[in-house]
Amino acid sequence: MVWAPEAPTAAPQDLRDDGLPLAAVAELTRLEVLRRLESGPRGLVEAHAEARLLLRGENTHPPRRVTSWRRLARSLRDPFTLVLLCLGLVSAVIASWGAACVIVILVVVSCVLRSNGEYRADRSTAALRKLVATTATVRRRLDEHATPVDREVPVDQLVPGDVIKLGPGDLVPADVRLLRSSGLTIHQAALTGESVPVAKQAVDVPGGGDQEHLCWHGSSVATGSALALVVATGADTRFAGAYQESGVRLSAFEGSVNGISWILVRLMLLIPPLALVANAVFRGRGLEALPFAVAVAVGLTPEMLPVIVTTVLARGSAVLARGQGVIVKRLSALHDVGAIDVLCTDKTGTLTQDRPVVDCSVDPDGRSDPEVLRWAAVNSFWTLHLADLPTPDALDEAILAAEQDLGEYEGVDALPFDPVRRVSSAIVRHPSRPATNLLVVKGAVENVLERCALDPAARQRAQLTAEQLADKGLRVLAVGLASYHPGEDQRLALVGFVGLLDRLAPEAADALAHLARRSVTIKVLTGDHPATAARVCQELGLPSDTVVTASQLDGLSDAALAEVAQRATVFARCTPEHKSRLVRALRGAGHTIGFLGDGVNDLPAMRAADVGICPRDAVDVTREAADVVLAAKDLTAIDHAIVAGRRSTGNIVTYLRVALSSNVGNVIAMLCAGLLLPFLPMLPAQVLVQNLCFDAAQLAFAFDRADPAVLRRPFRLRRRDILRFIAVFGALNAFADLATFAVLMWVVPEAAQATGQAAFHTGWFIENLLTQALVMLLLRPRRRVSRPLWVATGALTAVGLLLPLSPLAPLLGMTALPITYYLLLVIVVMLYGGALLVLSRRTDWSRDRRRPSEPCR
C-alpha cells in the first residue's frame, strides 16, 4: 500500500469526548482512522503521546481497589467467622457476656491478622508482577521531522493513535485496527469462545460482519505479524467489560480447604442442639446449658485457618522471589507446585543452552555445500525484515551470524515460521531479473520435504542425510527453492540441510538429578527430530530408548495414550495439540502436571496443566497465562519452587492435623463429661480462653521448618487423609482427657461433686493446655523444632501452669490444686506423649496417597 501524506499532528483533541466508537472504526478505512486519531504510519510524536496519556489515563483494566475496610469486611465472610459471630450473638442474647466478649476478641484478632496478611500478600504480589510487566513494540518520533523509532514500552503507556508491531506470541495490548498484516491469525477464545485461531487481514472494505481488520485487547497472536493502530485503551476496550464480569476458578488446594471448612461448619452447627438435647434428657438441664453448648462449638473452630494459609503461602512466595527470582502469580499455585510429580518440558533452552551455532551445511546427498547456508540466510534476513518481527529467533540469529553474504537479492514478501506450518517463507528477486521472483523456504525437514518435487530414491537419500545429522545431536533445517508464480502450487527443489549444534545447559544434569530425588518424573515434549531429542536425553541420563513421535499418537485412544504417556519419556515432532493432549492424558491418570514452556505453541499445554511455568523472557501470551514465572528457563529454579511448595503445604497440613485433632478430642471429652457430671465440665469462658491461647500459639506453624521426608515426595492437601487423621488422634486426645478426669476424682474426691467443680475445671484446663503444647511438638514430621515453635509451646505451657495461680484465676472460676495432681498429671502427659509417638510412626508424612492408574517411570 502507498501511504498518503499524514494529516498535520496538531495538539491532540480531547479524545475522551471526541473518541472513536468501535462500531465507527469498523466502518472506516485505514486512512480515515489515522486522520481521525491524528496519527500516521510513522507513529505519534512523543510529546503528543504523553499528552494523550495524561488525558486518557493508563492502558489498564478498571482498578479493583480494595481498601483496608473492605478487606476487613471480606474476612468476615469466612465460614468460621460467620458461625462465630452467630454464636457470639446467641451468647449476648442469653446474657452470657463473658463468652460473648471472648468470641468477639477471637473474631477481631482473626480478621485483623487475616486482612493484614492479605494486604502484605497483595502488596508483594503486585510488586513482583511489575517485574514481568508486558511491553509492546511501539513506533514513535521525537518530533515532527524525526525518523520514527521502534522501541519497547510498557503496555500501560499506550494511547489511541499509537502504531504498534505484533508478532507470534504477542498479546494484543489494546483494541487495534490493522494497517498491514502478513499471515496473521489471532487467538480470541477469551472474548468470542472460538477455539481455533481466527484469520485477520488489513482490509479497507471488510466483508460481512467478521471485523477481520480489528483485533481486541485480551487476544493473542498465533501466527504471522502485523502493523496496527491503537484505537481504544483501558476501560474503553471490549475486554474491559468481560474483565469486570469474569469469575474466579478455585484451585484444587482452595477447594480442599473449603471442603474441610464446610465439614467443620456443619459439625459446629450440629453440636449446640445435640449438647442441649443430651443435657436436657440425661441431666435435666435446660437453657442454662446453652452457653456451654456454644462454647463447645467454638472449641471446634480452627479460627486461625485463613490466617495460617495466607501467611504460609505469602511467606513461601516471598522467599522464592527474593532468593531465586521465581514469581508465583497466585498464592494457591504454590501448593500446586509442591504437588507436581510429572514435569513436562521442551528441550530447547531447558536441557540445552538455546544458543545454537551452525555446524554444517550440506546438499541432499550429505556433501558440504555453502550455498545451502547462503539461501538459509536469505530466508532468515528477509523473513525478519518483511514480516515485522521484533527480534529474530535463536536459529535465525545463528544462521545470520554464520553467513553475511546475502547476494543482491531484494525482499518482496515473507511469511514467518509458525507452529502449524513449521516453515518460514520469503519471496525475493534479483535486481538483474526483476520480473522473476524466487520462493525460499526453510523449516522442519518433514515439512519442507513434503513440499519438494523429489523422486522416491532422491527423497530416501535426503531423509537418510537428515537422519545422520540428527543422530549427531544436531538440529536440522531443510532449505528449498522454487520460482514463485502467484496462484500456482509451488513445488520446491531441495537445496540441502543446515545442521546447528545447541550445547547442553551446564546445570541441566544436576537439576534433573535433584528433581529425581524429589520423585518428579521428566517428560520431554519437543518439536525436534526424534534422533536429536534422543541424543540430548541420552547425554543427560534420561531414558531415551523409546522415542514416541506425534504421528504415533494420532491414532491412539485416550486410554492407550495415557499408557504411552506414562511409559515413554521423549515425545518428538509434537504440535501444540499433541502437547496439550499428552498433558491431559497424564492428568487423567492421576498425576499433578507442571508444564514449562516459553512460546505461543506451548500455550494449550500450559493451560491444560495443573501449573503453567515459563521464564521471564517468554512471549507475552505465555507469560500472562503462566502461574509461575522464572527468572530464567532453568530446571534448578523449578526444583527450588517445588521445595517451597511442599514446605508450605506441609506446614498447612501440620496445622490442620494438630488443631483439628486436638479440638475434636476436647469436644468429645466435653460432651461425655457433660453427661457424667452434675455440673458443666468447663465454664464457657474457660473454653474460650483456652481456645484463644491455643490459636495464638499455632501461628508458629507459619514459620516452622521443613522436614526432609516432606520434601522428598509430592505432598498434596487431601480432605480424606486429613479427616482420617483427625478421627484417630482426636479419639486418642479424648481418651487422655478422660484419664485426667479419673486422676482429678482420685486426687480431689469432691471434684465429682458440685462443690468441687472449680478444682475440676482448673485441673482439666491445665491438662488441656499441656497436652496441646505436646501435640504441637509431636504431631508433626519428626525434625528439629524451630525457635518460633519452641517459644510458642513454652508460652502455652507457662500459661497453663501459671494462670490458675494468678490474680485472674477467681475471675475465670479457677483454684489452686494440690501438688499430687501435678505429679500424676506428668504421668498422664507422658503416657499420652508415648501413645502419640507410637501412632505417629505409622503416619508417613511424605506419602502422597494418590492412586494413579500406573506410576510414571
Catalytic residues: 346
**Which grid coordinates belong to 316?**
513461601
Q: What are phi and psi of 15, to 5 degrees?
A: -70, -15
Phi-psi map region of 473: left, alpha, beta (phi>0 left; psi -120 to 50 alpha): left
Name the strand (E) or helix (H) holding 497. Answer: strand 493-501
Helices (H) and strands (E) in the chain, counts: 30, 22
- Return the C-alpha torsion angle 575, 577, 580, 582, nearest 10: -70
End-to-end CA, the chain = 57
Q: Report yes or no: 480 and 497 within 8 Å, Cβ to Cβ.
A: no
Residue 95: HSE in the Cβ half-sphere, 13 Å Cα cutoff:
2
In DSSP notation, 282-303 reads HH---GGGHHHHHHHHHHT--T
CA 347, chain centre distance (Å)? 21
Contact call for residues 481 and 438 (beta carbons, < 8 A): yes
Q: 642-677: string of b/e by CB count within 10 Å (b at 16+)?
A: bbbbbbbbbbbbbbbbbbbbbbbbbbbbbbbbbeeb
C-alpha torsion sign, points 313, 319, 321, 324: negative
Q: Supply the DSSP symbol for 590.
A: T
- In angstroms and rounded to an integer, the radius of gyration of the C-alpha atoms of the chain is 34
Backbone phi, psi, residue 135, to 5°: -120, 165
Cβ burial of 243 (10 Å; 0-12, 13-18, 19+) is middle
Residue partners of 790: CB distance under 8 A and separation at least 6: none
Whose cell is 523444632? That residue is 785
Contacts of 447-450 with CB under 8 Å at 24 or more apart are: 447/421, 447/422, 447/423, 447/478, 448/423, 448/478, 448/479, 448/480, 448/492, 448/494, 449/478, 449/494
For 233, residues 6+ apart whose C-beta sits below 8 A from its C-beta are 56, 59, 158, 159, 160, 174, 175, 217
Cβ atoms 272, 79 nearer than 8 A: no
**Entry field: residues in the chain:** 857
d(CA 324, CA 636): 9
719: CB partners within 8 A, 6+ apart: 256, 259, 260, 263
Give me 694's grid cell: 491455643
C-alpha cell at 517: 530425588
Contacts of 769 (CB under 8 A, 6+ apart): 690, 693, 694, 796, 797, 799, 800
Contacts of 465 (CB under 8 A, 6+ apart): 362, 364, 365, 366, 497
Helix 97-130 vs helix 68-75: crossing angle, to nearest 10: 120
* Selection from 250, 253, 247 nearest residue 305 by Cα: 253
296-307 burial: b if 16+ Cβ within 10 Å, else e:
bbbbbbbbbbbb
Helix (H) or strand (E) holding 525: strand 521-525
CB 163 within 8 A of CB 220: no
Residues 6+ apart with CB under 8 A from 601: 419, 527, 575, 576, 579
